[in-house]
Amino acid sequence: MNYRHVFHAGNHTEVFKHAALTLILERLLQKSSPFAVLDTHGGIGIYDLNSEEAVRTNEKDAGVNKVFGKAISAAPMYVEVLDALNEQSLKVYPGSPELVRHALRENDRLIVCELHREDGLLLKERYRKDRRISVHQRNGYEAVGAMLPLPERRGLVFIDPPFEREDETDQIAIALQAGFRKWATGIFAVWYPIKDAHLGDSVANAAIGAGFNNVLRAEFCPYRRDGVILAGSGLIVCNPPWRIDERLQRLCQELAALLGGNHSSWSVKPASGP
C-alpha cells in the first residue's frame, strides 16, 4: 500500500488519525513542564486541497469535507486548527507537523523527519523561522534510535509511515524496540491503514514485543473490511496518557455519526499479543 500523504490529504483515515493526535497533545499541555514531539514521517505540513494530487484522488469528500464546520466535542483542538487555516471554505488541510506546531508553547519542541527530498525541502522552508521546530531530511525510523531520549523527558514519538515498503512492519518493530531501550517512559503512537485485521495485529505485536506493558489499540472504520478497499485506520499508543481511551471512544462515536456508513465500526481496547 502506497500512502504518500499528499494524495490522501483529508480523507477519513486522516481525520481519525489527526483528531486522535490532538487528544494526546491536549494531555501533554495539561502540565506546565516542556514537552517535545518527534514526528518520524512529516510530509509537507499543510496540504492544498485544490492541488493536482488531492483533486486526482478527491478523497477529502469522504473525510474532512464531512466534518469541516461541524462541532466535534471530543477533539476541540482539531476543529480549532481546521477553522484557523480555513476562514470561509475548506482549502487546506493540516498534517501532523502543523497540528503539533499549533500546540507548541514557547519552550516546547517539534523534531520532524521527512525522507522524501522535495517534501523535506518544502517542510524546511515552511518552518524555517520557527525556532521551536527542527526539520531533518532523514529516515524517521533511524531517528527514533538516534534522537531519543528527548531532553525534555516528556513527550511523544509519532510514527505515521506511508506503507510503501514490504518490510514496513519490520521497520516499525525495530524502531519501537530502539524507542523502548532509549525512552521506555515516552508516549509512542503508530498509525496504520486498515483493509483487514492483519496489519493492525502486526503493529500491536510489534509494540508488545518491544517491551511496552501498556499498549492501547484504537481503530475506526467507516466502511466494511473486505481486504480490498481502505476501510479505515488504527492507532497503537504505547504508554497512553491517562484516560485517553475514554476520549478516543467519544471521538469514534462522533466520527461514526459524521463519517460512518451502514457498515462502520470502531473499537478502543488494550492491545493483546499473538
Give the max Cα distance, the chain: 48
**Encoded amino acid at 33, one letter:** S
Measured CA to CA, the distance from residue 6 to residue 3 in angstroms comes to 9
- In degrees rounded to 5, what are phi and psi of residue 32? -80, -20
From 39, 119, 160, 201, active-site residue: 160
- In degrees rounded to 5, what are phi and psi of residue 110? -125, 125
Smallest CA-to-CA distance from 139 within 45, 207, 40 is with 40
Residues 186 and 152 sit within 8 Å (Cβ to Cβ): no
Measured CA to CA, the distance from residue 269 to residue 274 in angstroms comes to 15
Q: Examine the residue annotation and report whether 83 is marked as an active-site residue of this protein.
A: no
**Phi-psi region for residue 126, left (φ > 0), alpha (ψ -120 to 50) or beta?**
alpha
Residues 197 and 225 sit within 8 Å (Cβ to Cβ): yes
Residues serving a catalytic function are 160
